[in-house]
């Protein structure tokens, strides 16, 4: 009885007692959810267009951030460094398409998935070789990202909103809106959707698969760059960031692998669920449950809806 | 395919033949350094590695080695990974190392039972298994100059002083932010014992190694609990991440204390808000000491160092220097004790046991005022030296207290219990048979 | 010339369907086994302790993962955690009943791992493909959290880590610091040979065929009468058994003590790479993959400085580390392009070509 009370009643009582803390927790969850969604967006882009589950998205985030800092440390002004980094990500996209995707064109999905594993390790080694293994600071000032805090009194207590987090939320929304417009209104967007539906049909109407893949990986690279800047500004850039990218997997599960709005909603659910769960239920078991809570949430969700919230229904045929 | 075959063939041949690794030449002493310049802890490990390497290299360049015998210094990359650490150990074993520094509690633990069998002393300076301070039970393991339990008792003592007496701690709340690993959990029993005795409440905030840069949940809980003081036990990117989050969530920085592991970069990552951050330390910072000047002249300026000039003299660099100071002193002692020039692991063990770094010796080494004098003995492999508190003023570390003595009575009791516990659990733990030398 | 089927007539079905049909194959396997045992007496400490014992341990874990992912088609990223369950179970059993032979406990600890594996395999009935990988990730992180959060598992010791108390076999120490690398190598080798033989029989028998059917198309398998629940759970259980035994061997006969971090997600990826490169669905592939992924970096560490130092270029230890990562990554991509079925397929092709050499077919 006591345990049931502790699990089912007490946390809600506590939520009511300190509503300002609840707001703070929700805000923190929202921010990390948006950041997870940014990483998941890269996955969705690539999966939508090429059916490849790009495990290397996490390391692309780190790599993009490190390249940006590397250019800046060489003396290049920040905005120019941004453009140069985008250029590097384009080169990376072309290299990946040429070396990894083209030779593996008709292989089963699992093979392509594992190829991205190899890509991950390759990029980890390359990144450490070029940039060194120690963590670096993101160049937030040079990028005109706001520092500072606003403290509002909400529901009886102080709630702190980092300006950086607000900026991250706004930038992420802009990117998502931009991508949604891109996919539905532009010619290339339509071509991407065609490729996602059927490679053969797209080829037959004259869409160059190779070009599309380069564009899609480049777009994912840009999203990775933005994610890297935002994550890096919050917690510094180092190679342990790519493990955080694993958290994008539950996001994709909840949101579906092919849906951009799904990535957002999945991200928010995971982010908020994780923070609230860790804050209110974590102390019952000694803390630290945010390492696995997201995955368990995704697992339970999958048992109910195996294709995710927005994913297409899996129809199996013999 | 044939290229595959050829390379596989070469590899196989090298494997079987590569076991005959070149042993240290007759007139040289082999000192392997287990370092990590990669991985999530590289932010701390790189500076330690540089400090360790440069001091020993300085001895080679300036004095031609120790006692005229050159030191062969070789780094082995462990990435703070136990598997790679044990692999490094096995790889260097054949080259007859005189001492090993695992620089990771996780790597130290599997090596402790092997040290006695392989006759290679382990120097786990202020980390590793605290119980290994008992030289009678762990004759081959050394962890000077202080243990984690001593350190925790020093921090509590300092907080007590700030509050006006240890009895004033009653009713206060102290938060403990730690790496969720053996290293971070070791001081918890002592902390809980002190909390029961002195009446303060302890709140534990573990940080998993994969979440070191994503500590917002822990600091949310800190905001909820509002502890009066926060004690941190972190390493690698955890320290920088914690300081950043502390600034972000508005925790009063002057109530934030840490064990001796954060470096300048960690404090800098907190920006202007990190002013007031306190941590323990037992040695000096900066390059004003003659030995440090020698390092700059003989190693850094000659391009033999991997460190950039502005990092020489920083906290973790000097920590590495201290580590090598102990190694060099142990070797010198071993040479004195045995009369041999090219000493072995057994000799260096005796040398380590009879270390006596008094002010005169420190001055002769060019490190006057660098650190408190320390002397080890057969039963005391630690020294239990005091450490002082230093504060970050925004640009550098400022010493803000005298050396704080640890609460030896409580620590001693814990040490004895833990050492006995270890020996019992590892049935068949050999009794010490090594003779005891008098310090010279 | 050396490898010919000519002249070997089979008179019974069983000899025709045997695993090693050709006399040359049987001789080859016998030579390998004898050489492996001989290495115990000839090999150096470094070779045994740092190369062969871990190679065998990882091969066993790779066999486990191969059974699950290669034969039964269930992608799993929880290998590290299942190894951990075996190691911790073995520790608890060993310390609770110190008089019983440690080999018995190593083999028994696999059953605990099998139970946990079957539990986390339950979602595989609803979830397939990548999604299952996420379910196993949940297992990985949750179990890792349990290892550090439940002090009962390490008998409440101060360091929170596993240690290896002294245990003997027929009076000779096998676990603990005094156990020589020869003894440990022999024990590990024998266990691996026995378990591999068991796995080989499993995958070639009825159960193995059920797994392969499920992997190829589980709906069709179900229609044929194969019960998916039992088959998939059995795959998880057997796979986790092998991983658990490998984990126990790793901690007690190789490391001699370990922290919980040894069983992290990188360990899972490590074993997965071995299976991918070695070849999904092949036992020999597990060995070859383990050899390549594990031994190649060590060889690299020896070879690279040897090549570069005559030129005066010193390669720092961390550069070798970076190159290790890059080469592993590049090799994975290379193998997936050249031979998606892994090195084992290359070996098979090689054997077939040898059979008819010098004719091309």
Q: What phi and psi values does residue A151 have, to the nearest 5 degrees?
A: -115, 115
CATH of the domain at A222: 1.10.3470
Closest B-chain CA to C260: B181
Average pLDDT over residues B65-75: 89
A216 within some domain: yes
Closest C-chain CA to B16: C47
SS3 B36: coil
Distances (CA, A) of C181 to B89, B117, B121, B346, C187: 14, 12, 20, 22, 10
Enumerate residues 6+ apart whose C-beta is below 8 A from B320. B47, B48, B49, B50, B51, B52, B53, B54, B55
Q: What is the pLDDT of residue B167?
A: 87
Kindly tell me if the per-residue pLDDT of B24 is higher than 50: no
Q: Is B32 on the interface with A (CB under 8 A)?
A: no
Average pLDDT, chain C: 88
Kindly tell me if the per-residue pLDDT of C262 is higher than 80: yes
Helical H segments across B273-397, by residue range: 290-295, 315-338, 345-353, 359-364
For chain C, which chains pass the contact test of at least 3 CB pairs under 8 Å? A, B
A50 within some domain: yes
Q: How far apart are CA B199 and CA B203, in angstroms?
A: 13
Closest listed residue to residue A78, CA positions, set A88, A87, A69:
A69
Q: Taking the CB of residue A35, how many other CB atoms lie within 10 A of it? A: 26
For chain A, which chains pass the contact test of at least 3 CB pairs under 8 Å? B, C
A316 within some domain: no
pLDDT digits (tens, 9 = 90+) for C38-48: 999 998 888 88
Average pLDDT over residues B268-291: 89
Chain B residues whose beta carbon lies within 8 Å of the beta carbon of residue C348: none
Chain B residues whose beta carbon lies within 8 Å of the beta carbon of residue C259: 82, 105-106, 109, 181-182
Q: What is the pLDDT of residue B420?
A: 83
Kindly tell me if the per-residue pLDDT of B11 is higher than 50: no
- Where do the CATH 3.40.50.2300 domains begin and end in chain B? 23-146+285-375+417-425, 148-281+389-406
Kindly tell me if the per-residue pLDDT of A22 is higher than 80: yes
The first and second tokens of residue C290, run together, are 């383990």
Strands C162-163 and C257-258: antiparallel
Q: Is C123 on the interface with B (CB under 8 A)?
A: no
Kindly tell me if the per-residue pLDDT of C104 is higher than 60: yes
SS3 B325: helix
Confidence bin at A8 (pLDDT 50/70/90): confident
Q: How far apart are CA B410 and CA B433, in angstroms?
A: 28
Confidence bin at C289 (pLDDT 50/70/90): very high
For chain B, which chains pass the contact test of at least 3 CB pairs under 8 Å? A, C
Q: What is the pLDDT of residue C79?
A: 95
pLDDT digits (tens, 9 = 90+) for C206-252: 999 999 999 998 889 999 999 999 999 999 999 999 999 999 999 99
Confidence bin at A153 (pLDDT 50/70/90): confident
The first and second tokens of residue B320, run together, are 């590495």
Kindly tell me if the per-residue pLDDT of B315 is higher than 70: yes
The least confident of A206-210, B22-26, C89-93 is B22-26
Confidence bin at A200 (pLDDT 50/70/90): confident
The domain of A25 spans: 2-304
Closest A-chain CA to C325: A125
Confidence bin at C314 (pLDDT 50/70/90): low
Q: What is the pLDDT of residue B390?
A: 93
pLDDT digits (tens, 9 = 90+) for C137-183: 899 999 999 998 888 888 887 677 888 888 888 888 888 877 888 99
Q: What is the pLDDT of residue A233?
A: 83
Residue A153: strand pairing partners: A158
Kindly tell me if the per-residue pLDDT of B221 is higher than 50: yes
Closest C-chain CA to A100: C333
Q: What is the pLDDT of residue C43?
A: 86
Q: Do B186 and C49 touch (CB under 8 A)?
A: no
Q: How far apart are CA A273 and CA A4, in angstroms?
A: 20
Helical H segments across chain C, by residue range: 13-16, 23-42, 45-46, 53-65, 79-96, 102-121, 130-149, 181-204, 206-216, 218-224, 228-249, 265-278, 283-290, 296-308, 317-338, 342-356
Closest A-chain CA to B245: A235
Give me the percent of chain A exceeding a pLDDT of 90: 10
Q: What phi and psi values does residue B35 have, to the nearest 5 degrees?
A: -130, 165
Average pLDDT, chain B: 86
Shortest alpha-carbon distance between residue B181 and chain C (Å): 7
Q: Is A87 on the interface with C (CB under 8 A)?
A: no
Chain C residues whose beta carbon lies within 8 Å of the beta carbon of residue B87: 50, 54, 298
Shortest alpha-carbon distance between residue A293 and chain B (Å): 13
Average pLDDT over residues B17-32: 60
Q: What is the pLDDT of residue B234?
A: 92
pLDDT digits (tens, 9 = 90+) for A129-143: 888 777 787 877 777
Average pLDDT over residues B175-194: 88
Strands C172-175 and C167-169: antiparallel
Q: Do B208 and A288 touch (CB under 8 A)?
A: yes
Q: Do B181 and C260 touch (CB under 8 A)?
A: yes
Torsion angle, CA of C276/C277/C280/C286, rounded to 10 degrees?
-110
Q: What is the pLDDT of residue B12?
A: 46
Give me the percent of chain C exceeding a pLDDT of 90: 44
B231: left (phi > 0), else alpha (psi -120 to 50), else beta? Answer: beta
Interface subset of C 28-87, CB within 8 angstroms of A: 75
Q: What is the pLDDT of residue B25?
A: 47
Q: How far apart are CA C102 and CA C94, in angstroms?
A: 7
Q: Do A124 and C325 touch (CB under 8 A)?
A: yes
Kindly tell me if the per-residue pLDDT of B396 is higher than 80: yes
Q: What is the pLDDT of residue A311?
A: 64
Q: Do A111 and C272 touch (CB under 8 A)?
A: no
Q: Do C220 and A318 touch (CB under 8 A)?
A: yes
Kindly tell me if the per-residue pLDDT of B22 is higher than 50: no
Q: How many CA atoms lie within 13 A of C257 on its CB side?
A: 27
The architecture (CATH level 2) of B23-146+285-375+417-425 comes to: 3-Layer(aba) Sandwich (3.40)
Q: Do B204 and A243 touch (CB under 8 A)?
A: no
Chain C residues whose beta carbon lies within 8 Å of the beta carbon of residue A111: 336, 340
Shortest alpha-carbon distance between residue A87 and chain C (Å): 22
Average pLDDT, chain A: 84
A126, A250, A296 member nearest C326 (Cβ): A126
Q: Taking the CB of residue C156, how many other CB atoms lie within 10 A of it? A: 10
Q: What is the SS3 assignment for C145-179?
A: HHHHHCHHHHCCCCCCCEECCCEEECCEEEECCCC
Average pLDDT over residues C308-328: 76
Shortest alpha-carbon distance between residue A11 and chain B (Å): 13
Q: What is the pLDDT of residue C313?
A: 63
CATH class (in words) of the domain with range B148-281+389-406 = alpha beta
Q: What is the pLDDT of residue B18?
A: 39
B77's enclosing H/E stretch is: strand B70-77
A100 within some domain: yes
Kindly tell me if the per-residue pLDDT of B129 is higher than 80: yes
Kindly tell me if the per-residue pLDDT of C90 is higher than 90: yes
Query: Interior CA angle at A198 toward A196 and A200, to 5°?
Result: 130
Chain C residues whose beta carbon lies within 8 Å of the beta carbon of residue B83: 54, 255, 262
Q: What is the pLDDT of residue B255?
A: 92
Kindly tell me if the per-residue pLDDT of B313 is higher than 80: yes
pLDDT digits (tens, 9 = 90+) for A71-126: 888 888 888 888 999 999 999 999 988 888 888 877 777 788 888 888 988 998 89
Mutation pick from B75, B207, B213 vs chain A, by most beta carbons of A within 10 Å, is B213
Q: What phi and psi values does residue C171 have, to the nearest 5 degrees?
A: 85, -10
Q: How far apart are CA C236 and CA B100, in angstroms?
A: 42
pLDDT digits (tens, 9 = 90+) for B347-371: 999 999 989 998 999 999 888 889 9
Q: What is the pLDDT of residue B231?
A: 94
Q: Do A295 and C138 touch (CB under 8 A)?
A: yes
Contact B181, B209 (CB under 8 A): yes
C137, C138, C333 member nearest A118 (Cβ): C333
SS3 A149: strand
Average pLDDT over residues B433-438: 77
Average pLDDT over residues B215-233: 89
Q: What is the pLDDT of residue C180?
A: 86
Kindly tell me if the per-residue pLDDT of B21 is higher than 50: no
Q: What is the pLDDT of residue B155?
A: 93
Confidence bin at A312 (pLDDT 50/70/90): low
Interface subset of C 182-211, CB within 8 angstroms of B: none
Q: Is A286 on the interface with C (CB under 8 A)?
A: yes
Report the Cα B20 to chain-centroid distance in Å.
Answer: 32
Question: Per mean pLDDT, which of B305-309, C154-158, C272-276 is the most reliable?
Answer: C272-276
Q: How far apart are CA B283 and CA B51, in angstroms?
A: 13
Distances (CA, A) of C90 to A222, B426, C101, C246, C252: 48, 15, 11, 11, 9
Contact C153, C146 (CB under 8 A): yes
Q: How far apart are CA C58 and CA C286, in angstroms?
A: 9
Q: How far apart are CA C262 and CA C247, in angstroms?
A: 10
Q: Is A122 on the interface with C (CB under 8 A)?
A: yes
Residue B176: strand pairing partners: B204, B231
């Amino acid at each position: 009885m006591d345990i049931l009370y502790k699990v089912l009643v007490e946390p809600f009582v506590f939520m009511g007692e300190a509503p300002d803390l609840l707001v703070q927790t929700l805000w923190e969850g929202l921010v990390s959810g948006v950041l997870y969604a940014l990483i998941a967006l890269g996955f969705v882009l690539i999966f939508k267009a090429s059916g490849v589950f790009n495990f290397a998205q996490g390391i692309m985030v780190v790599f993009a951030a490190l390249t940006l800092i590397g250019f800046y440390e060489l003396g290049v002004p920040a905005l120019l460094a941004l453009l140069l980094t985008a250029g590097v990500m384009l080169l990376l996209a072309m290299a990946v398409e040429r070396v990894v995707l083209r030779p593996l064109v008709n292989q089963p999905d699992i093979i392509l998935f594992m190829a991205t594993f190899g890509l991950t390790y390759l990029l980890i080694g390359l990144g450490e070789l070029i940039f060194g293994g120690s963590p670096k600071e993101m160049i937030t000032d040079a990028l005109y990202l706001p520092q500072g805090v606003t403290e509002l009194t909400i529901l009886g207590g102080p709630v702190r909103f980092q300006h950086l987090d607000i900026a991250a939320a706004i930038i992420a929304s802009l990117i998502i809106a931009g991508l949604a417009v891109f996919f539905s209104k532009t010619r290339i967007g339509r071509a991407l959707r065609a490729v996602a539906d059927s490679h053969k049909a797209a080829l037959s109407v004259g869409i160059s698969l190779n070009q599309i893949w380069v564009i899609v990986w480049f777009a994912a690279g840009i999203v990775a760059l933005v994610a890297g800047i935002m994550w890096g500004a919050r917690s510094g850039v180092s190679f342990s960031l790519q493990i955080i990218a694993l958290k994008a997997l539950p996001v994709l599960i909840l949101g579906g692998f092919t849906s951009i709005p799904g990535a957002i909603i999945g991200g928010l659910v995971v982010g908020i669920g994780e923070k609230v769960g860790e804050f209110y239920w974590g102390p019952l078991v000694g803390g630290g449950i945010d390492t696995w809570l997201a995955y368990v949430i995704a697992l339970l969700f999958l048992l109910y809806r195996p294709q995710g919230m927005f994913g297409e229904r899996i129809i199996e045929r013999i | 395919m044939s290229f595959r075959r050829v390379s596989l063939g070469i590899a196989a041949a090298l494997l079987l033949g590569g076991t005959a690794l070149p042993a240290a030449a007759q007139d040289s002493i082999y000192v392997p350094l287990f370092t990590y310049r990669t991985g999530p802890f590289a932010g701390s490990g790189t500076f330690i590695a540089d400090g360790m390497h440069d001091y020993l290299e300085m001895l080679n360049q300036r004095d031609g080695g120790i006692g005229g015998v050159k030191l062969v210094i070789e780094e082995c990359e462990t990435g703070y990974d136990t598997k790679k650490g044990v692999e490094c150990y096995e790889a260097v074993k054949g080259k007859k190392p005189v001492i090993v520094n695992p620089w990771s509690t996780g790597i130290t633990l599997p090596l402790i039972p092997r040290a006695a069998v392989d006759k290679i002393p382990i120097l786990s300076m202020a980390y590793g298994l605290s119980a290994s301070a008992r030289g009678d039970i762990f004759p081959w393991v050394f962890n000077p100059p202080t243990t984690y339990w001593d350190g925790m008792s020093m921090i509590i003592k300092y907080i007590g002083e700030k509050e006006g007496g240890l009895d004033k701690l009653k009713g206060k709340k102290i938060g403990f932010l730690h790496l969720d690993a053996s290293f971070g959990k070791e001081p918890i029993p002592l902390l809980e014992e002190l909390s029961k005795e002195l009446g303060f409440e302890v709140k534990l905030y573990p940080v998993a190694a994969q979440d070191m840069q994503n500590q917002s949940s822990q600091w949310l809980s800190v905001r909820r609990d509002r502890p009066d003081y926060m004690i941190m036990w972190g390493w690698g990117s955890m320290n920088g991440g914690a300081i950043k989050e502390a600034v972000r969530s508005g925790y009063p920085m002057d109530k934030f204390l840490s064990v001796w592991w954060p470096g300048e970069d960690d404090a800098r990552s907190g920006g202007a808000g990190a002013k007031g951050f306190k941590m323990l330390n037992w040695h000096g910072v900066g390059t004003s000491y003659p030995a440090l000047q020698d390092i700059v002249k003989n190693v850094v300026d000659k391009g033999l160092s991997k460190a950039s000039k502005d990092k020489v003299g920083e906290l973790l660099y000097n920590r590495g220097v201290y580590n090598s100071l102990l190694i060099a002193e142990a070797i010198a002692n071993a040479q004195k004790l045995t009369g041999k020039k090219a000493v072995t692991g057994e000799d260096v063990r005796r040398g380590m046991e009879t270390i006596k770094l008094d002010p005169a010796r420190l001055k002769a080494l060019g490190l006057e005022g660098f650190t408190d004098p320390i002397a080890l003995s057969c039963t005391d492999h630690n020294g239990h030296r005091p450490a002082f508190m230093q504060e970050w003023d925004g640009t550098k570390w400022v010493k803000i207290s005298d050396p704080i003595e640890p609460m030896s009575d409580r620590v001693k009791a814990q040490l004895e219990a833990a050492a006995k516990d270890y020996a019992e659990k590892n049935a068949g733990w050999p009794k010490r048979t090594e003779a005891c030398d008098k310090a010279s | 010339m050396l490898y010919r089927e000519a002249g070997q007539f089979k008179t019974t079905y069983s000899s025709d369907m045997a695993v090693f049909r050709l006399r040359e194959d049987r001789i080859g396997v016998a030579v390998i086994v004898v050489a492996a045992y001989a290495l115990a007496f000839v090999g150096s400490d470094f070779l045994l302790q740092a190369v062969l014992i871990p190679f065998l341990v990882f091969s066993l874990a790779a066999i486990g993962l191969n059974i699950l992912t290669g034969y039964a088609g269930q992608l799993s990223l929880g290998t590290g955690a299942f190894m951990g369950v075996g190691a911790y179970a073995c520790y608890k059993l060993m310390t609770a009943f110190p008089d019983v032979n440690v080999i018995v406990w190593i083999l028994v600890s696999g059953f605990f791992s099998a139970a946990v594996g079957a539990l986390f395999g339950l979602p595989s009935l609803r979830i397939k493909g990548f999604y299952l990988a996420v379910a196993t990730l949940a297992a990985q992180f949750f179990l890792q959290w349990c290892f550090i959060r439940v002090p009962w598992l390490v008998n409440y010791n101060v360091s929170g880590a596993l240690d290896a108390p002294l245990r003997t076999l027929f009076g000779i120490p096998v676990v603990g610091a005094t156990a020589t690398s020869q003894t440990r190598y022999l024990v590990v080798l024998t266990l691996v040979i026995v378990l591999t033989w068991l796995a080989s029989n499993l995958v070639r028998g009825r159960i193995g065929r059920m797994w392969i059917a499920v992997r190829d198309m589980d709906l069709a398998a179900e229609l044929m009468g194969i019960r998916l629940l039992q088959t998939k759970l059995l795959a998880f259980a057997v796979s986790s058994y092998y991983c658990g035994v490998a984990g126990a061997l790793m901690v007690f006969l190789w490391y001699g003590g370990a922290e919980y971090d040894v069983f992290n997600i990188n360990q899972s990826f490590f074993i997965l790479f071995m299976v991918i490169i070695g070849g999904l669905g092949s036992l020999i592939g597990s060995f070859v993959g383990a050899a390549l992924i594990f031994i190649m970096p060590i060889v690299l560490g020896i070879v690279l400085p040897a090549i570069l130092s005559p030129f005066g270029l010193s390669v720092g230890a961390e550069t070798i580390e970076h190159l290790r990562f890059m080469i592993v990554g590049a090799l994975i991509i290379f193998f997936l392009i050249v031979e998606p079925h892994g090195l084992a397929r290359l070996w098979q092709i090689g054997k077939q070509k040898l059979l008819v050499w010098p004719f091309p077919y």
